[in-house]
Structure 1
Amino acid sequence: MPKRIPLFSILVLLGLLSVQVPVSGQALLPYTLELNSEELEQQGLNLAQDAVQLVRFQQFELALPRAELATQLAPKSYQTWFILGSLYVQTKELDKGIDALQRARSLEPNEAGILFTLGSARFQKAEYTTAVAELEAGLKIKPNVPEALFDLGNSYYMLKQFPKAIAQYEKAVSLEKNFWPALNNIGLVKYEQGDIRGAIKQWEAAIAIDDEAAEPQLAIAVALYAQGDQEKGLSQGEAAIRLDSRYADLEFLKENLWGDRLLADTKKFLETPRIQASIGPNQGSPSREEISPQ
Structure 2
Amino acid sequence: MPKRIGLISLIVVCSLWSLPKAAYAQALIPHTLQLDAAKLEQQGLSLAQEAAQLAQFQQYEMAMPRARLASQLAPKSDKVWFLLGGLYLQTKELDSAIAALKKAQSLNPKNGDVLFALGSASFQQQKYDVAVNYFQQGLKLKPNDPEGLFDLGNAYYMQRRYSDAIAQYNQAVSQDKKFWPAINNIGLIKYEQGDVAGAIQQWQSAVTIEKQAAEPLLALAVALYNKGERQKGLAMGETALRIDDRYADIDFLKENLWGDRLLADTKKFLELPRIQAALQQRGENTAAPTPQPTQ
The two structures share one fold, judged by TM-score above 0.5 = yes
The residue aligned with 1:163 is 163
> What secondary structure does 1:280 align onto?
helix
The residue aligned with 1:48 is 48
Query: Cα–Cα, structure 1 residues 220 and 101, in superposed 2: closer, same or farther, change >3 Å?
Result: same
RMSD value, Cα: 1.9
The residue aligned with 1:187 is 187
The residue aligned with 1:14 is none
> What secondary structure does 2:283 align onto?
coil
> What secondary structure does 1:283 align onto?
helix
The residue aligned with 1:251 is 251
Structure having the higher helix fraction is 2
Q: How many residues align?
A: 254
1:132 paired with 2:132, answer: yes
* Within-5 A mapping of 1:1-294: 34-280=34-280, 283=283
Query: Cα–Cα, structure 1 residues 252 and 83, in superposed 2: closer, same or farther, change >3 Å?
Result: same
CA distance in 1: counterparts of 2:181 and 2:140, whole angstroms: 23
1:278 to partner: Cα distance: 1.9
Asked if structure 2 preserves the Cα contact closer than 8 Å seen for 1:245 and 1:283, the reply is no
CA distance in 2: counterparts of 1:88 and 1:231, whole angstroms: 44
Q: Which runs of 4+ in 1 moved over 6 A?
A: none
> What secondary structure does 1:191 align onto?
helix
Question: What stretches of structure 2 of length at least 5 have no aligned partner?
Answer: 1-18, 20-31, 285-295
What amino acid is aligned across from residue 213 of structure 1 in structure 2?
A
Larger Rg over CA atoms: 2
1:282 to partner: Cα distance: 5.6
The residue aligned with 2:292 is none
CA distance in 2: counterparts of 1:54 and 1:121, whole angstroms: 21
CA distance in 2: counterparts of 1:113 and 1:179, whole angstroms: 18
CA distance in 1: counterparts of 2:41 and 2:268, whole angstroms: 59
CA distance in 1: counterparts of 2:42 and 2:232, whole angstroms: 62
CA distance in 1: counterparts of 2:235 and 2:39, whole angstroms: 64
TM-score (norm 2): 0.81
What amino acid is aligned across from residue 68 of structure 1 in structure 2?
R
Query: Cα–Cα, structure 1 residues 163 and 78, in superposed 2: closer, same or farther, change >3 Å?
Result: same
CA distance in 2: counterparts of 1:263 and 1:99, whole angstroms: 35
CA distance in 1: counterparts of 2:120 and 2:197, whole angstroms: 31
